[in-house]
């Protein structure tokens, strides 16, 4: 059995906070991928609207309750975004793949440490999701990879050391200070915070639909990971990302395939 990885944080670091988790539809099943089924024969490049698009499309139906709530949310103002701007710098690939951390790539839980005489510290048992490293290695050849988490940056950087120890795969990190906390209690990862990137060239994979509430056409919902080491959700994500990587317009292609915004039209 694989020994879990541990992340040790100093007392000045803060506990990771991903309050979105409680809002997610829980899914431990290996067979309930929320990604569209791989359809090798389907032309990815078509820029015309799919005749099957609509409120009855799979993902929109699966997230009907969340999308109904999202429809009533007010997007962050430009001033909110301006306060959170992040520059990523030079990029090697045309498209940027934004990846959530907790419950998408890893599952971590705090564990008790030491006795009373020890300096207090936080330690986390971190389970790396099956195929997470394969995803990073394969997709780094096709996309610019950026992690966007609602957790504190210090925690996220410690986790990235486990996922990408040579710092060669993931080229950017956005953390809680780049997120917007809505009055509804939802943390939102608005893609407009990436000051030197075009939103039309970014896609975001996250286990929480609220994370990309205002970038639904860019969003790829991923089934939540809660530590099940038989989980194979990321194999579906790898296949899907492979398919759409050469799209002329990746957001349009993603909308055609997943079409979450259809659920907001009701």
Residues of this chain that bind Mg ion (CB under 5 A): 100, 102-103, 207
Q: Which residue's CB is nearer to Mg ion, number 100 or number 190?
A: 100
- Does residue 93 contact residue 144 with C-beta atoms inside 8 Å? yes
Minimum gap (Å) between residue 20 Cβ and Mg ion: 6
In this complex, which beta carbon is closest to Mg ion, that of residue 234 or of residue 262? Answer: 234
225/247 with CB nearer Mg ion: 225
Nearest Cα neighbor of 176 from 204, 156, 198 is: 156
Report the residue number, 103 or 257, with the smaller CB distance to Mg ion.
103
**Cβ nearer to Mg ion, comparing 102 with 152:** 102
How many Cα atoms are found within 13 Å in the side-chain-facing hemisphere of 138?
A: 15
- Encode burial over 147-177: b for 16+ CB neighbours within 10 A, e otherwise: bbbbbbbebbebbbebbbeeeebbbbbbbbe
Shortest Å, Cβ 156 to Mg ion: 12
Q: How far is the CB of 266 from Mg ion (least distance, A)?
A: 26
Least distance to Mg ion from the beta carbon of 26, Å? 12
H-state helical runs in 57-216:
58-62, 64-71, 78-82, 132-139, 153-163
Residue 214 Cβ vs Mg ion, minimum distance, rounded to whole Å: 17
Nearer to Mg ion, 190 or 207 (CB): 207
In whole angstroms, the minimum distance from the beta carbon of 248 to Mg ion comes to 30
For residues 79 and 90, give the distance between their C-alpha atoms in angstroms, rounded to a whole number: 25
State whether residue 203 is helix, strand or coil: strand
Gap between the Cα atoms of 209 and 59, Å rounded: 10
């Amino acid at each position: 059995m694989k020994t879990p990885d541990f992340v040790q944080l100093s007392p000045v670091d803060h506990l990771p906070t991903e309050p979105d988790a409680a809002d997610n539809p829980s899914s431990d099943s290996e067979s309930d991928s929320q990604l569209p089924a791989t359809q090798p024969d389907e032309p990815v490049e078509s820029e015309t609207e799919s005749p099957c698009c609509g409120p009855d499309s799979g993902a929109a139906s699966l997230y009907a309750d969340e999308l109904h709530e999202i429809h009533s949310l007010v997007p962050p103002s430009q001033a909110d975004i301006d306060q959170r701007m992040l520059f990523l710098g030079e990029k090697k690939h045309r498209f940027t793949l934004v990846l959530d951390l907790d419950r998408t790539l890893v599952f971590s839980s705090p564990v008790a440490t030491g006795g009373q005489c020890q300096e207090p510290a936080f330690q986390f048992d971190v389970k790396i999701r099956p195929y997470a490293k394969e995803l990073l290695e394969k997709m780094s050849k096709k996309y610019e990879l950026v992690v966007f988490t609602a957790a504190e940056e210090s925690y996220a950087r410690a986790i990235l050391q486990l996922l990408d120890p040579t710092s060669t795969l993931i080229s950017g990190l956005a953390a809680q200070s780049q997120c917007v906390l809505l009055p509804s209690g939802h943390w939102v990862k608005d893609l407009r915070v990436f000051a030197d990137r075009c939103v039309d060239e970014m896609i975001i994979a996250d286990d929480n639909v609220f994370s990309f509430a205002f970038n639904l056409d860019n969003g790829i919902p991923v089934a939540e990971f809660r530590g099940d080491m038989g989980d194979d959700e990321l194999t579906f994500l790898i296949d899907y990302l492979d398919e759409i990587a050469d799209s002329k317009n990746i957001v349009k292609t993603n909308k055609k395939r997943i079409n979450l915004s259809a659920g907001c039209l009701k």
